[in-house]
Structure 1
Amino acid sequence: MSEQAKPASRLERTLGAVERIGNRLPDPAMLFVGLLVLVWVLSALLSGLDFGLTDPRNGEPLRVSNQLSGSAMAAFLSAMVKNFAHFHPVGVVLVAMLGIGVAEHTGFINAGLRALLSVTAKVLLTPTLIAVGILSHTAADAGYVLVIPLGGVIFYAAGRHPLAGIAAAFAGVSGGFSASFVPAALDPMLQGISQAGAHILDSSVQLNPLNNYFFTASSAVLVIAVGWWLTDKIVEPRLRATALDGDLSDLPSMQPLEAGERRALRGALVAMLLGIGGLILSTLPESSAWRGPNGSLAEGGAPLMRSIVPLIFLLFLLPGVVYGIMAGTVKSSRDVIEGMSKAMTGMAYYLVIMFFIAQFVYAFAQSNLGVLLALEGAAVLKALALPAPVTIVGIILLTGVINLFVGSASAKWALLAPIFVPMLMQLGISPDLAQAAYRVGDSTTNIITPLMPYFPLVVVFCQRYVKNAGIGTVAAMMLPYSVTLLVLWSAFLLLYWSLGMPLGLQASYTYPG
């Protein structure tokens, strides 16, 4: 007598419904066409209304701009090419993929992963991948184009479901966006906005750029632990029923490296280490060209921070070519160009989606609908006058909701800080704590919104293994991470606060403090 199938749990049924509904949505490109039309219509309907709100960017009354007016449509058409050509995720992805494509085509990535898997305990694969995703925050958006696709390759090579690897990496890179062992450019960026918001009430407030560092470093441990458990116990078991039907012919297996491959890998790694060493040496002098106006390597305007993606291109191109020459997979320059061309071929669908996303983002920003959503939500929260811990949770939840529509962390905080920071200061809560609450909400819902510019890229990565993967597939994979992190990370912040553990350098919980 055959064993009866175990009935699906409520969670499995819920995630299955999310996947089915999400995958029934129009193609992502057409979804953004629909959203663009919706922005046009809403902006026209709301353009004549007075909301009684002040735009924090210019101090003037907030008005929704009608994007169906003649002048707005003319501006939209004249900016269409620029919107796409200058859309930040497009350049980031394509430049990085040129170098990665060569490294993959020559076999360097394949050999490197096989060598890595041979010395990594299988049980530690998930937490290691999430930790690497968190560490990628120091390299701007590099984690999206480097760590997430490698997550799928690594899991496949280890005999596990590749979509689970993509999910774990996505959780570390984006779901744990504000968790970091190493300071990143986002820290001083948010600190500057928080300080400007505090100056509305008290011009003497000075915040340290690492005012949240101890909390974000501790949060990294939480994100790894939560992501590890969810990947191995919830996400991957559910994915076992998802068949792989993509082109898997060029993916690595667990076969041991041959002598020639080992020799070529050693040569490639030496080339990579020499490149990294040369880069480090060039940053050491105080007069280094890599440093920003204030002499820092990590400040937002520093050439080093602006060059992260080109450096990734070079640091994969160089060892990829060296490996190919030594292994015999590169016999002429045409082989290098073929690797780049092959990588760009795989990006064709992504480019189509990015074209429409760029137009939507432009129209949404010009309409002021995102500003209206943020300010109305903040006004409601302020009017409720809830106890301080409840207000902190309210800020996290409101930020998480706004994050579904407005992707940029700095742009959202620039809108919310002038309201939240002074409001909480009047309740005796410091700008440091307000910023920490914002960072929790800003991180946890990144991974479930198709409006996040890199979300379609994750869909493309999944389609490499499962041809019919869509928005619903990724949303259902990531929903357990999003909800669990939102709840546990919020609770962690409240516990951290109640224990009086330091948020960061020169930070406090109270104002004045």
Structure 2
Amino acid sequence: MHPSASQQIQQPKKTRFTRFLDTVEWLGNLLPHPITLFALFCLAILITSGIAGYFGVSVIDPRPEGAPGRAADGMIHVVSLLNAEGLQKIVAHLVTNFTGFAPLGTVLVAMLGVAIAEHSGMLSSAMRGLVMGASKRMVTLVVVFAGIVSNTASELGYVVLVPLAAMLFHSLGRHPLAGLAAAFAGVSGGYSANLLLGTVDPLLSGITQTAAQMIDPTYTVGPEANWYFMFASTFAITFMGALVTEKIVEPKLGKYSAEEASVDLGQDKLGSLTDLEKKGLKAAGFAALIVSALLALTIVPENGILRHPDTGLVAGSPFLKGIVAFIFVFFAIPGFVYGKVVGTMKNDRDVIDAMAKSMSSMGMYIVLVFFAAQFVAFFKWTNFGQVFAVGGADFLQSIGLTGPALFFAFILMCGFINLMIGSASAQWAVTAPIFVPMLMLVAMRRKPFRRPTVSVTR
């Protein structure tokens, strides 16, 4: 008697790490949609604030007397929204919470400019030109690098670069899956890292600013705040992605034979740039240089009109405050010039159609922002952000977790959350209102640890 098929096929024993990943996947699948998650968070804040307000939960405000936002009695009280006054506030500010949410307008304006560059074909052509022009020796580095910078145009890297990299590797006699993996690592792993500011930066900086203003109502965070880290991360991720691809991924795939390809992945299918596209890119590059030169005239001279009117510095200047407008211009003008040269944009109607198509794809984001804005507003009104920040800062000081170790632990925590909540805006809207004020208080305190200051009056 022959053993059954189930007996013949021996399932390999799962490693401890594989079981961990299975658990993370299971937990992630349990989570509802991010929009539903924010709606549930809002409901939880209403109920919890009612309970905490009833018992009079409060903490001592660690900020010095006279600091912006500090109450006269030096206490931070949890404010209940589960009463008549709370309901009135919610109803009166439901719309303004949404329209006044910093990431909403900034992202939409930036996307209008990127839309022109994307729908004209400029970004796709620039990416293809960058990858196809790479030498055989540098192709892995260039593919990962192109994947990282592609997030300037949102999801373009997934659509254009990932299949292009697979075809390019095949043409060089290398395994297409290695090229696909390298491109995917750049696009996904390098998301938010870039040499330029993109549409994600205004979104995240706006959430950070709203969270920081729980401690300091005058605090401002510009889209450029994280640029130095993004710039350095671009090169770090490029080299790391190329190293992993060539030393780990590609050897594990084994030797590749071109005959194994199920479809024609030949050189003629790579979509090389035409002469017209090359001409369009040159014209777009020239337009970008002109825009950059005009912009430099407003900020480089000591009396530049976009410098700070009082200090004459770039810090706090109209230039930095209006950086989103320059993102719009920097993509819109070269994008239109490219489209005009190659014929994808003949008149103003084509430009308007491109911007309209971009806005039509932002529906899910707008719905997410509506609920995220309510969550952030509720969190701020109840003073939960400040209460958690004080308690968290006390706890971190008590265990001596400060400095680089604190940031390393925070990065690990965000990385774990990212396994279950993939959306950058959703994840940061949840974590920022708690951890940004907490880290601000840790940085403000330069004195020995005090006992936790939470008090309950009932």
TM-score (norm 2): 0.67
Which of 340, 343, 349 is residue 334 of structure 1 equivalent to? 349
**Matched-pair contact (CA < 8 Å) for 2:147–2:187:** no
Q: Does 2:145 match 1:128?
A: yes
In the alignment, is residue 36 of structure 1 matched against residue 31 of structure 2? no
Return the alpha-carbon distance in structure 2 between the equivalents of residues 116 and 168 of structure 1.
19
**Residues 274 and 265 of structure 1: is their aligned pair in 2 closer, same or farther, counting only changes over 3 Å?**
same
C-alpha spacing 1:229/1:346, structure 2 compared with 1 (3 Å) = farther
Is the contact made by 1:41 and 1:68 (CA closer than 8 Å) also made in structure 2? Answer: yes
Corresponding residue for 1:380? 395
Report the CA distance shift for 1:228/1:33 in structure 2 as closer, same or farther (over 3 A).
farther
1:177-212 per-residue CA deviation (whole Å, 9 max, x = no partner) reads xxxxxxxx99xx9xx99xx9xxxxxxxxxxxxxxxx
Question: Once the two structures are superposed, what CA deviation does each residue of 1:362-415 show, in whole Å capped at 9, x if it has no partner?
Answer: 10111121222221122123334x5xxx65466336756697622598644433
Which residue in the other structure is 2:298 paired with?
Answer: 282
1:170 to 181, 188, 191: 191
- Residue pairs, 1:385-424, within 5 angstroms: 386=400, 391-392=402-403, 395-396=406-407, 405-406=431-432, 411-419=437-445, 421-423=446-448
What is the match of residue 87 of structure 2? 73
Matched, 1:27 2:33: yes
Is the alpha carbon distance of 1:224 and 1:392 closer, same or farther for their aligned partners in structure 2, counting shifts above 3 Å? farther
Equivalent residue for 2:261? none
What is residue 154 of structure 1 aligned with on the other side? 161
The one-letter amino acid of 1:355's match is: F
Contact 1:129 1:168 in 2 (8 A): no
Partners of 2:360 and 2:311 lie apart in 1 by: 41
Look up the equivalent residue of 1:63 and give its one-letter code: H
The equivalent of 1:91 in structure 2 is 105
Distance 1:87 1:157, change over 3 A: farther
Determine the structure 2 residue equivalent to 1:14: 20
Q: Verify the 8 A CA contact 1:130 1:171 in the aligned structure 2.
A: no
Is the CA contact (8 Å cut-off) linking 2:193 and 2:233 kept in structure 1?
no
Q: Once the 2 structures are TM-superposed, how far is the Cα of residue 18 of structure 1 from its aligned partner?
A: 2.3
Q: Answer whether contact 2:140 2:242 (CA < 8 A) is retained.
A: no
Q: Which amino acid aligns with 1:58?
A: R
Residues 83 and 358 of structure 1 are in contact (CA less than 8 Å); yes or no, is this contact kept in structure 2? yes
1:166 deviation in Å? Answer: 3.3
Alignment of 1:408-447 (within 5 A): 411-419=437-445, 421-423=446-448
- Unaligned stretches of 5+ in structure 1? 134-144, 174-184, 197-212, 239-252, 427-513
Q: Distance in 1 between matches of 2:320 and 2:84?
A: 40
Quote the offset at 1:332 in angstroms. Answer: 2.3
- State the distance in 1 between where 2:98 and 2:406 align: 33
Is 1:58 equivalent to 2:73 in the alignment? no
Given the superposition, is the C-alpha separation of residues 214 and 96 from structure 1 closer, same or farther in structure 2, using an over 3 Å criterion?
Answer: closer
Q: Show the counterpart of 2:382.
A: 367
Number of aligned residue pairs: give it: 361
Aligned counterparts, 1:291-302, within 5 A: 291-292=307-308, 293-297=310-314, 299=315, 301-302=316-317
Aligned with 1:337: secondary structure?
helix
What are the residue-to-residue correspondences of 1:476-487 with 2, within 5 Å? none
8 Å CA contact 2:59–2:390 kept in 1: the answer is no
Name the residue aligned to 2:219. none
Q: Which residue of 2 aligns with 1:107?
A: 121
The answer as to whether partners of 2:130 and 2:142 remain within 8 angstroms in 1 is: no
- CA 1:351 to 1:391, structure 2 compared with 1: closer, same or farther past 3 Å? closer
Query: Aligned pair in 2 of structure 1 residues 7, 118: CA closer, same or farther (>3 Å)?
Result: farther
CA distance in 1 between counterparts of 2:192 and 2:443 reads 26
Aligned residues with identical type, % of pairs: 29
1:72–1:9: structure 2 CA closer, same or farther, 3 Å change rule? same
Amino acid at match of 1:85: T
* Structure 1 counterpart of 2:271, from 247, 255, 267: 255
Instruction: Work out the CA distance in 1 between the residues paired with 2:250 and 2:81.
Output: 44
1:352 Cα offset (Å): 0.7
Tell me if the contact between 1:148 and 1:170 (Cα under 8 Å) persists in the aligned partners.
no
CA contact (8 A) 1:148 1:166 kept: no
The one-letter code matched in structure 1 to 2:36 is M
The alpha carbon displacement at 1:170 in A equals 2.3
Quick one: distance in 2 between partners of 1:222 and 1:263? Answer: 33
Instruction: Indicate the larger mover: 106-115 or 58-67.
Output: 58-67
1:98 deviates by: 0.9
Contact 2:110–2:328 (CA under 8 A) maintained in structure 1: yes
Q: CA RMSD in A?
A: 4.2
Judging changes above 3 Å, is the alpha-carbon distance between structure 1 residues 92 and 378 closer, same or farther for their aligned structure 2 residues? same
Q: Residue 266 of structure 1 corresponds to which residue in structure 2? A: 282
